[in-house]
Amino acid sequence: MIATVCLRLAAGLVGSTLVLDPVPIPPRFFRVQHLVALALTAVAAFFLRDLIAGPGWAALGGAMALCFVGSIVWHVDRAPGGPVVNLLATGALLVCLVMLDLMTENPGLENMGLADDLASAAMMGLATTSMLMGHSYLIAPAMTMEPLLRLLAALGLALVVRIAMACFGLWQWTEAHAGNNLDTETVAWLVVRWLVGFVAPAVLGWLAWETARIRSTQSATGILYVVVILVLLGELTSLLLLEKTRLVL
């Protein structure tokens, strides 16, 4: 589970840069994204060391190499080829996620496994990147609000997709179980999943959007710190439910 969370977050962090226009953003912002993704991928490799073989090491090594290259490219003046490296690193990390599903026989493969990886990566990556972008306004106060607003809009879209997937999984689960035979423990986790992972981030995300629109970046960043924590807890709960129900909830 730790490796899955690390790889999803790494893919989400780098992938979230694809929705941004790099022109008004300080290059060091993208450099940090790649460095954090590099560290997360290394942590995932550590926890998978007894599980993966040659192809898995090649995929992880390629992803780490591209993240390292990205950290160098975005440190150079004008970042030549920066957007291309962002795209390649995102693709490499997604390949790692697919290989992880195959190696661990992730039960999510029976029900939208790749879609689950993509949606979860988008949720965690966009929430964290939005928070980091809000923090960037402390050192670049004159920067336009477009990057933060674009990230928040993308986060809202990812949340809608994630909720739709969870509704489909919930429908499948209730179809397979009579109402009076539902596992009480699973129901409790499901309530936590929806309240912490969906409802609270939706409300706080809207508040962050409204505060960003009036250029209250410090308030928006503070709200987004909480959103990041809630999204991470929600996605961890989703993985627990996936193990218990073999469905994306």
Tens of pLDDT, residue by residue over 198-240, are: 999 999 999 999 999 999 999 999 999 999 999 999 999 998 8
- Indicate whether 108 pLDDT > 70: no
The DSSP code for 249 is -
CA separation for the pair 200, 142 (Å, rounded):
30
The residue-averaged pLDDT of 93-103 equals 86
Q: Which amino acid, 33? A: Q
Q: Do 67 and 165 share a structural domain?
A: no
Boundaries of domain holding 122: 109-249
Distance of CA 67 to the CA centre of its chain: 16
Residues 226 and 145 in one domain: yes
Q: Are residues 174 and 125 in the same domain?
A: yes
- Co-location of 146 and 243 in the same domain: yes
One domain, residues 92 and 120? no
Query: Residue-wise over 132-147: b if at least 16 C-beta within 10 A, else e?
Result: bbbbbbeeeeebebeb
Residues 132 and 221 in one domain: yes
How many C-alpha atoms does 192 have within 13 Å on its Cβ side?
A: 17
User: Does the pTM of the predicted model rise above 0.75?
Assistant: yes
Are both 69 and 189 inside the same structural domain?
A: no
Give the list of residues 6+ apart from residue 139 with CB closer than 8 angstroms, or none: 26
The confidence score (pLDDT) of residue 109 equals: 47
Boundary-marking domain end, from 80, 105, 130: 105
Which of 11, 183, 186 has its CA nearest to residue 194? 186
Q: Which of 10-14, 111-115, 119-123, 179-183 has the lowest mean pLDDT?
A: 179-183
Tell me: the pLDDT tens digits for 128-166?
999 999 999 988 888 999 999 999 999 999 999 999 999
Q: What is the pLDDT of residues 34-87, one digit of tens each?
A: 999 999 999 999 998 887 777 888 999 999 999 999 999 998 878 888 999 999
Q: Is residue 143 within 8 Å of residue 24, measured between CB atoms?
A: yes
Q: Which pLDDT does position 179 carry in this prediction?
A: 53
Instruction: Looking at the structure, tell me whether residues 118 and 165 fall in a common domain.
Output: yes
**Can you give the pLDDT at residue 104?**
66
* Total domains, the chain: 2
CA distance 121 to 56: 19
Residue 67 contacts residue 14 (beta carbons within 8 Å): yes
CA gap 232, 249 in Å, rounded: 15
Distance CA 1, CA 69 (A): 27
Same domain, 121 and 227: yes
Residues 181 and 62 in one domain: no
Q: Which of 88, 105, 122 is the last residue of a domain?
A: 105
Question: Which of 105, 134, 152 is a domain's end point?
Answer: 105
